[in-house]
Amino acid sequence: MATTMATPLSGPIQALPPVQMRAGGGLASFLRKVWAVAAKDLRAELRGREVFSSMTVFSVLAVLIFGMAFDLRVPEAKMVAPGVLWVSILFAGVLGLNRSFGAEMDRGTLPALLLAPMDRSAIYFGKVIANFVFTFGTALVILVATFFVYDVDLLQPLIFAGVLLGTLGYVAVGTIFAALSASARARESLLPILLLPVMVPVFMAGVALTAVVLDGGGLADVTNWLGILIGFDLIFLIVAYLLFDMILEEV
């Protein structure tokens, strides 16, 4: 019975390298990963409605309580409306920032997120986008509530610009501290202790800008305050991009 002999290979047998799944490079790929992280948080909020609803209810109650308190002693609502607006934004924003990484820790999904094939800065910017949507949406609710409670015209373009820039700086810093405090037992109290002192420049610039606009000032009168907000945003976004990988190593 004839047997078929395999023909020997003419050269040495070389092992083929295993196929590796690598994330594509480039800005477009980075932006897709950023949006994937942001979309995950936004979808979770649409399903649970935990963050935005609690922030909105808290902010409206804060505006009403401040309104009742200051109505007894302050002769003109325009004098306190800027401070009420920005204090409400700062305190309501803490609720959303606490859930940014706190929810990941509670669900046990943070280690999986850190193992995803992406640069850690993509996680940061994705979280910033989601936090910005929640916080700026709450800020718009606060603007409308303050408009009706105090009867002060806060719905002006320059005030909108100041709130947008201030909110961006707020979540840029707040996302860093939310990551740092995520593994702490007392993160609900630790986050505002870390965050609020750093936000003093944003708070002062925002209040001053709002007050100048309410007093009839134009773009030339608020240029310095807008410059402070823009500079604050750029500095902390760049610092976070450079250091966020080291920050997550401590989580």
- For the stretch 38-53, pLDDT in tens is 998 898 888 877 788 8
What is the arithmetic mean of pLDDT over 16-45?
Answer: 72
Question: Is pLDDT above 90 for 231?
Answer: yes
pLDDT at 2 over 50: no
Does the reported pTM lie above 0.85?
A: no
What's the rounded mean pLDDT across residues 216-244? 91
Instruction: Give the C-alpha separation, 193 to 179, whole Å.
Output: 14
Both structure tokens of 109: 């999904």
The pLDDT assigned to 72 comes to 59
- Distance (Å, whole) CA 107 – CA 110: 8
Q: How far apart are CA 80 and CA 74, in angstroms?
A: 8
* 28 within a domain of the structure (yes/no): no
- Asked if the structure places residue 23 within a domain, the reply is no
The DSSP H or E segment spanning 56 is helix 51-70
Mean pLDDT of 202-217: 92
Residue 18 lies in a domain: no
- The tokens describing 104, both together, are 């990941």
For residue 73, the model assigns a pLDDT of 67
Q: Is residue 188 assigned to a domain? A: yes
Average pLDDT of the segment spanning 55-62: 90
Kindly state the percentage of the chain with pLDDT values over 90.
Answer: 37
Give just the sign of the alpha carbon dihedral 121, 241, 108, 115.
positive
Residue 43 lies in a domain: no
Residue 40 lies in a domain: no
- In contact, 91 and 62? CB cutoff 8 Å: yes
Q: How many structural domains compose the chain?
A: 1
Lowest model confidence (mean pLDDT) among 20-24, 33-37, 40-44:
20-24
Which tops the pLDDT comparison, 9 or 99?
99
Domain of 228? 49-249
Q: What integer pLDDT is reported at residue 6 of this predicted model?
A: 43
- State pLDDT tens for residues 133-185: 999 999 999 999 988 888 888 889 999 999 999 999 999 999 999 888 877 77
- Farthest-apart Cα atoms in the chain, separation: 113
Q: How many helices and strands in the chain, by DSSP H and E?
A: 9, 0
Mean pLDDT across 85-109: 84
163 occurs within a structural domain: yes
- Indicate whether 55 belongs to any domain: yes
First to last CA, the chain: 70
